[in-house]
Structure 1
């Protein structure tokens, strides 16, 4: 004999308890990111220009920012790992990754990046610029750059770039590829690998 036939109130109470537990679980899952500052995802029309539509995702729990530039075959994405102090750009057309050390004097902090990504493009001076020379030797061990970069660049030819402090595109003789991160930073990757 079913326990519900002997006491319908018992079954009603059990069903009510299960509903309460499921509801509390779903509420907890939906509120945890809101209260913990876990991640920010910014994707709006103010971050769109001739180079494509950009979105910024910030994971505060892991100190990582992901910038996606969607522009067809010229799309790229970048990870800034504030724990390892390395950043990487994955170039879809060239089927390669380029890893470089983050210049924290020029690149915004994780918190500042989140705030800047939400702003409309201001009138004023051009973005700050960083210029790198891409080394021709492939990277054998991606793990030294941290897990986020290792995962993004796994199975893709990856190269290290060294910053050219104080260099200017006007006097640089090698071909460079330019990447605008929103309206706040221009990254130039130069060297033989960029000509392929």
Structure 2
């Protein structure tokens, strides 16, 4: 069975052959030209057409800030082999202030969603600082989203979607990840969310 892309190439070849657009050179040359032009489609390689994560960020109007500094005795991320484990980050704004408050009491779902999206921007800034190029990320593996929640609040997944949606917008299919979204009685400094992430990259850490 042919894939839809392969079927398209074959159909185009038959159309060219029936019209004899290159009769003086024979149908074989026509086929070779068509195959050369359609090689990315046959191989499934879309890298030549897919925008990079940085290009997608630019399209979204997002400029990554400087990676937030750790606030205690830990590092922003640890790479072991091809995996990077990112420490939890919160919704810190460019001016250093944070989105704080409890979901279901001080903040609504939409405000929580925006806080999670801001946290995704901060985690992307950490990755950019560690890797130099976000295109080195081959897969976003796992996200742990913690939501500062009133006991009655049960919409943690809707809040953490703010993080997940942006990650998928930036990385496409390789950004689709496993996830947990849980409620917490409190979070450091009263921040609205704290989110960890694990990613796979294209090679081990360079010395």
TM-score higher than 0.5: no
Q: Judging by fraction of residues, say which structure has more strand.
A: 1
Larger RCO (CA within 8 A; separation ≥ 6): 2
Q: Judging by fraction of residues, say which structure has more helix.
A: 2
Q: Give the alignment's TM-score, normalised by structure 2.
A: 0.30
Q: Give the alignment's TM-score, normalised by structure 1.
A: 0.31
